[in-house]
Structure 1
Amino acid sequence: MNDFQPITVSEEATADRPWLASLVGTNNANTITLDLTKFVSGVHYEAGNLLQPRNVLKSGLPLGKVTATGLYAPYAGPTAEVQTVTVTGTPTGGTYTLTFSGQTTAAIPYNATAAQVKAALEALSNISVGDVSVTGGPHPGTAMSVTFAGQYMGDDVAAMTASGASLTGGSTPGVTIATATAGGAATATDGTETLAGFLATESMFATGSTKTSGALLWFGEVFAAKCPIPFDPTDVASVAPGVNIHYR
């Protein structure tokens, strides 16, 4: 089932486009067809609900063009490093720390949320806002995943280390770090490893649809770190012919 909707690209900056650094180029967007089977709910689009039954693809998604079909799908550039942080031994109090490339965080509560771990990491001198995203938790019951983006996107970064010496209670409490996904070069070979541009505006589609229309921004200026799928523009080795995107 296909779900094609009229495409309108406004030249006004809107709340759904914080990634748009300049209005220059917004009137150069091309109408494209998206392969919805390649997009993931919660990552690339927000699922519909009772008040808004249609799914909404996020504006600013980096896109690539599938060579075999000519359809557009999420850009499959360099792989992001993902490391897990697990608090063991069921502590009932205290704190722990994380160390990344020689820099150690302030004390993190034993029952920290993902937001608290993210804030602790972004307070380090070698991690800027947008360089990491943290999901999962809260501790100590559930592990967290730290995904490296921004300046570290596509890098096989050094594994973090942790100290749980200040954790209390439980049975021999501690903190373990594991690499779930090693960062590295793009592995896709279907064409999506080449950046074609960005989804210029939100696109809605009905559940069960396999294709929908969208607008491709191929000329302009964007904040790479504010895109729904952050990436390091220095890792974009090549772009599709005619693309002229600048980054801030």
Structure 2
Amino acid sequence: MIDNALLMEQNISRIVGGLVQYRPTQGGWDVQTPLLYPSGAFASVGIAGEGETFSVSDLGSGFREAYAGDVGNSFGRAANELSEEFGVIYEKRHLFIPRVAMGQLGAAVRLVANCSQASVILAIERANERKVAERSDRLYARLKKIFPNTAKHAQITGASSTEWTVDALVQRGDHLAVFDAVTTHANSVASTSMKFHDLALREDAPTRAASVESKRSMGTLLAVLSQAANVIEDAAPDQQYRQLAEAA
């Protein structure tokens, strides 16, 4: 237990005055910071110790958030990478600083919470990048079988003179069709929508198609994506892909 609980409470109150809330626990304190994980949950850290030396840990909350988001395998690599940058330790699924003086507790709480949040975000981004790359490869392989004249990761210039990269470009005579594999991640939808809107303004605008795993899983983002592209599901028959590519 922490000696002189009243003094400790006063110090904790001063340290976390700008944070959301804190509560005493057996042997320490739990501090809920204003930082949010992607799920919307607050990033919390635990303070443990007595006297003048304490430890600060995310108590594995970052890993649990990543695991709940199905990116637990990516979290360890992200945490190992960022822990050095933030000056914390990652071990046994916990991010922590083992020895912290009383006067450094505020900074330590911020470092651990920020590192935990950043590690979850990076894990999600890395997992999404891998998923996008895998789906892009599958989309290209499928289109290549249907249309031999298909280019992978092709460059095409929009009306703004910006050069865009699309997952696949199909050429049918003088007509072009561009395809992107899109995930449920907002950044994926935004990226494809931006490039397709620009391509739509070309005088010889190509057909624009976005391949998704499931229209239903896209939620409200389906309406956003549909403004810029013809949306087709991965499982759609080849004939639907052929009709899209050949549409003027």
The answer to whether TM tops 0.5 is no
> Between Structure 1 and Structure 2, whose CA radius of gyration is higher?
2
| TM-score category of the 2 structures, normalised to the smaller one | under 0.3
Structure with the higher helix share, 1 or 2: 2
- TM-score, normalised relative to structure 1: 0.23
Structure with the higher strand share, 1 or 2: 1
- TM-score, normalised relative to structure 2: 0.23
Higher RCO (C-alpha under 8 Å, 6+ residues apart): 1
